[in-house]
Structure 1
């Protein structure tokens, strides 16, 4: 349940960051690729509400990739193996300008994040994909192909 709440918060923060003026997003395709599923109804309802709001400004698609199951006390090797398994599914969905949400990324204000997406559109990209990893993060292989790494906070 804690992971679902964290995932919901990440999606909500990503939506809030994108939902700035919306004017430049009219023709943009925004793909949110999240590892894990929202299980609680109130979280799914909130996600649906944000999706509804954003659809007025962009073509939004949300993809939920299955989270790899780990043993109770996973080793670093187990975690890396799972992250790479998730990465294979993530990479099938990645299109256009790729933003990975990861702890080592840069923190931006909502305005700066909107400018980042706008600049991607101005440079000829019609699709922005935002990857939200599991509680263990995102595989290095996904981070390496990312156009930008975004961090929501140092926490």
Structure 2
């Protein structure tokens, strides 16, 4: 069974976001070994300098890349490629055919991702040119992963 994870910086604080992710995690169980890995974000002062932000992103990058070892990395970033749902499904199928041991989608902190994480991805994914809160982006990504596996298994969810 293919392994898919979302590696993200920070925790979901509100119960409704956690419940939404848990629902998609449950729905994904028949298709993939799915998990969400929350990594701690670096603490920064209220008005951090660019040097402090860069240092925090590099520190987070070390933890992210360790969590993603052994598979394909798909960082979410604004400069990434926008895919429709069938295209994402096709990419997941191709990764499975190429024996990617695990697929790791990565959501960074509110300051984004270090370039080393972005460069680790053969595909950089953009959800939209719009900016979303990280909590909502996580739920949307869970839904799109579920939709992709519904497409691959000819389910009725995607119309």
2:33 aligned residue: 59
Deviation of 1:126 (Å): 3.1
What's the TM-score, normalizing by structure 2? 0.78
Distance in 2, Cα, partners of 1:76 & 1:104:
20
TM norm structure 1: 0.80
Match of 1:7 in 2: none
SS of the aligned residue for 2:76 comes to strand
Q: Which residue of 1 aligns with 2:67?
A: 93
* Residues 69-124 of structure 1, C-alpha deviations (whole Å, 9 max, x = no match): 11111111111111111111111110311100011100000110111111111112
Where does the alignment leave 5 or more consecutive residues of structure 1 unmatched?
1-26
In structure 1, the residue matched to 2:18 is 44
* Structure 1 moving runs of 4+ over 2 Å: none
Counterpart in the other structure of 1:108: 83
Cα distance in 2 for partners of 1:87, 1:135 equals: 14
Residue 4 of structure 2: which of 30, 35, 40 is its match?
30
Structure 2: gaps spanning 5 or more residues: 131-159
**Which residue does the alignment assign to 2:143?**
none
Match for residue 135 of structure 1? 110
Of residues 127, 131, 141 in structure 2, which corresponds to 1:152?
127
Tell me the SS of whatever aligns to 1:104. strand
Indicate whether 1:81 and 2:55 are aligned.
Answer: yes
3-state SS, counterpart of residue 56 of structure 2: helix
Q: Distance in 1 between matches of 2:52 and 2:98?
A: 39
Count residues in correspondence. 129
